[in-house]
């Protein structure tokens, strides 16, 4: 679990399995995911499947995003489930696993969700705006879905410009 899988690697299309054991090894895997995410260009979220680990784990941190938003800081989430969505917003997305492309993707504007924290405690969270978009994007990864599957039109999929 040291590098990012990139499209069209078929492992990105697999559905991840639930996390059942909450121990020091899980905490270390979350830490590795965070390090990999931060090493990527503009990484604000990562799903474990992007590193070949088929467990329902995501790491989110929008604090240093170019898109300012109200957020909950660094989140380690196991077994995340979106329970309620509200509104819709169209926004540009990119992905560490699809590094050369960005596209316009419709997402819920606000979400309510639950997840297990690093100790296995079930938590609830409400998110909106960019943070909600990132969470939805990463949960899609856990279900084998990439943002390129959700672009509204292939005309809206464009080559990423160099930063």
> H-helix or E-strand containing 141?
helix 129-142
pLDDT at residue 142, as a whole number: 98
For the cut 60, the answer to whether the pLDDT of residue 163 exceeds it is no
pLDDT at residue 162, as a whole number: 54
In angstroms, rounded to a whole number, what is the distance separating the alpha carbons of residues 43 and 146?
A: 16
Nearest C-alpha neighbor of 147 from the set 3, 7, 1: 7
> Is 28 a catalytic site residue?
no
pLDDT in tens, 32-44: 999 999 988 778 9
pLDDT in tens, 9-33: 999 999 999 999 999 999 999 999 9
In angstroms, rounded to a whole number, what is the distance separating the alpha carbons of residues 64 and 162?
A: 19
Catalytic residue among 10, 28, 86, 138: 138
In angstroms, rounded to a whole number, what is the distance separating the alpha carbons of residues 23 and 93?
A: 33
pLDDT in tens, 51-80: 999 999 999 998 876 665 677 889 999 999
For the cut 70, the answer to whether the pLDDT of residue 152 exceeds it is yes
CATH class of 10-159: alpha beta
Instruction: Calculate the average pLDDT of the chain.
Output: 91
Q: At 153, is the pLDDT very low, low, confident or very high (cuts 50, 70, 90)? A: confident
Quick one: what percent of the chain has pLDDT higher than 90?
Answer: 78
In angstroms, rounded to a whole number, what is the distance separating the alpha carbons of residues 140 and 148?
A: 11
Q: At 124, is the pLDDT very low, low, confident or very high (cuts 50, 70, 90)? A: very high
Global confidence as pTM: 0.92
Query: Length of the chain, please?
Result: 163
């Amino acid at each position: 679990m040291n590098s990012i899988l990139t499209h069209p690697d078929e492992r990105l299309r697999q559905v991840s399995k639930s996390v059942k054991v909450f121990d020091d090894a899980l905490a270390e895997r979350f830490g590795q995911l965070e390090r990999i995410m931060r090493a990527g260009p503009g990484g604000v979220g990562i799903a474990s499947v992007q590193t070949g680990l088929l467990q329902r784990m995501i790491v989110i941190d929008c604090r240093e995003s170019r898109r300012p938003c109200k957020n909950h800081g660094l989140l380690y989430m196991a077994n995340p489930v979106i329970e309620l969505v509200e509104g819709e917003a169209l926004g540009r997305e990119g992905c560490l696993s699809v590094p050369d492309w960005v596209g316009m993707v419709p997402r819920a504007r606000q979400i309510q969700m639950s997840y297990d924290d690093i100790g296995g405690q079930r938590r609830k969270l409400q998110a909106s705006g960019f943070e909600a978009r990132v969470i939805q994007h990463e949960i899609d990864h856990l279900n084998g879905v990439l943002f390129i599957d959700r672009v509204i039109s292939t005309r809206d999929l464009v080559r990423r410009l160099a930063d």
